[in-house]
């Protein structure tokens, strides 16, 4: 079992839809959770960063962490064609100097 | 520059050749990380540097891979005697420090193709 599991999709939705992206993990030592967006031929761009269970909202994006279930989600409201990209979840343990552990990424396509 | 800069953006080379990839971190960022992204795969950690401390090389896949960093500036990743399985996008990230709370910011990567 991989440390971080993420459905690669692809996921196709119409403009304006609510999108739900998810990751599960097996290592209970993970304490910091991130979502990155990656456009084609570009590097990952940090979208959301949280380190506690519950919800964190930033504009149209909401990150949700459930440590008891080892499950994280990213919700995108009122999705736009410009949201079409690959979304990567990433997480790390509390120890300093450790690398991020990434999911494989979910490819999202939003059609106008 | 405002962000992490990597060069070259693309590199095509023949099997068996050596390649050198470069990363310029965000100014003031003391921590620097290298990752590899194979097609259809998540990012794999390769190595990280923090200031003048010994680098963490635990992710390097073989002794053909090595990396250097001068102080808190430029880093180079070298792959010797390249193999076809080395084809991937090599991404560099930097952060203010190695504390777990510090987020990592990525460059656009070097797309390496081994013929």
Q: In this structure, are residues B35 and B44 in contact, taking their beta carbons and an 8 Å threshold? A: yes
Q: Which of A18-27, A96-105, B71-80 has the lowest mean pLDDT?
A: A96-105
B96: left (phi over 0), alpha (psi -120 to 50) or beta: alpha
Average pLDDT, chain B: 92
pLDDT digits (tens, 9 = 90+) for B23-70: 999 998 989 999 999 988 889 999 999 888 888 888 999 999 999 998
pLDDT value at residue B1? 52
Q: Which of residues 23-62 of A touch B (CB under 8 A)?
A: 31-32, 34, 36, 41-46, 49, 51
Nearest to A96 among B100, B105, B108 (CB): B100
Tokens of A80: 């736009």
Query: How far is Cα A72 from Cα A95, in angstroms, rounded to an integer?
Result: 20
pLDDT value at residue A110? 97
Q: Tell me which of A40 and B71 has the higher pLDDT.
A: A40
pLDDT digits (tens, 9 = 90+) for A59-100: 999 999 999 999 999 999 999 999 999 999 999 988 777 788
Nearest to B41 among A93, A98, A104 (CB): A104
Partners of A57 in beta bridges: A62
Q: In this structure, are residues A109 and A103 in contact, taking their beta carbons and an 8 Å threshold? A: no
Tokens of A58: 């930033």
Confidence of residue A1 (pLDDT cuts 50, 70, 90): low
Query: How far is Cα B32 from Cα B93, in angstroms, rounded to an integer?
Result: 6
pLDDT value at residue A70? 95
Q: What angle do CA B19, B34, B31 make, to 5 degrees?
A: 130
Query: How far is Cα B16 from Cα B80, in angstroms, rounded to an integer?
Result: 7
Query: Does B96 contact chain A (CB < 8 Å)?
Result: no
Residue bearing tokens 């390249």: B82
Residues of B in contact with A92 (CB under 8 A): 100
């Amino acid at each position: 079992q991989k440390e971080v599991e993420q459905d690669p999709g692809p996921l196709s939705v119409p403009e304006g839809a609510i999108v739900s992206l998810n990751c599960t993990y097996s290592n209970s030592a993970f304490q910091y959770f991130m979502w990155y967006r990656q456009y084609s031929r570009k590097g990952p761009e940090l979208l959301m960063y949280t380190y506690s269970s519950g919800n964190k909202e930033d504009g149209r994006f909401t990150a949700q962490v459930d440590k008891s279930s080892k499950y994280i989600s990213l919700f995108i409201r009122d999705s736009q064609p410009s949201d079409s990209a690959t979304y990567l979840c990433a997480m790390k343990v509390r120890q300093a100097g450790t690398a991020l552990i990434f999911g494989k990424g979910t490819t999202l396509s939003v059609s106008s | 520059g405002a962000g992490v800069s990597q060069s070259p953006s693309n590199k095509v080379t023949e099997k068996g050749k050596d390649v050198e990839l470069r990363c310029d971190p965000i100014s003031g960022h003391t921590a620097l990380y290298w990752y590899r992204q194979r097609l259809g795969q998540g990012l794999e950690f390769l190595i990280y540097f923090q200031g003048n401390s010994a680098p963490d090389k635990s992710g390097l896949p073989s002794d053909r891979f090595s990396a250097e960093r001068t102080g808190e500036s430029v880093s180079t990743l070298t792959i010797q005697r390249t193999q076809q399985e080395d084809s991937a996008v090599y991404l560099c990230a930097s952060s203010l420090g190695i504390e777990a709370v510090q987020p990592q910011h990525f460059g656009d990567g070097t797309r390496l193709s081994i013929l």
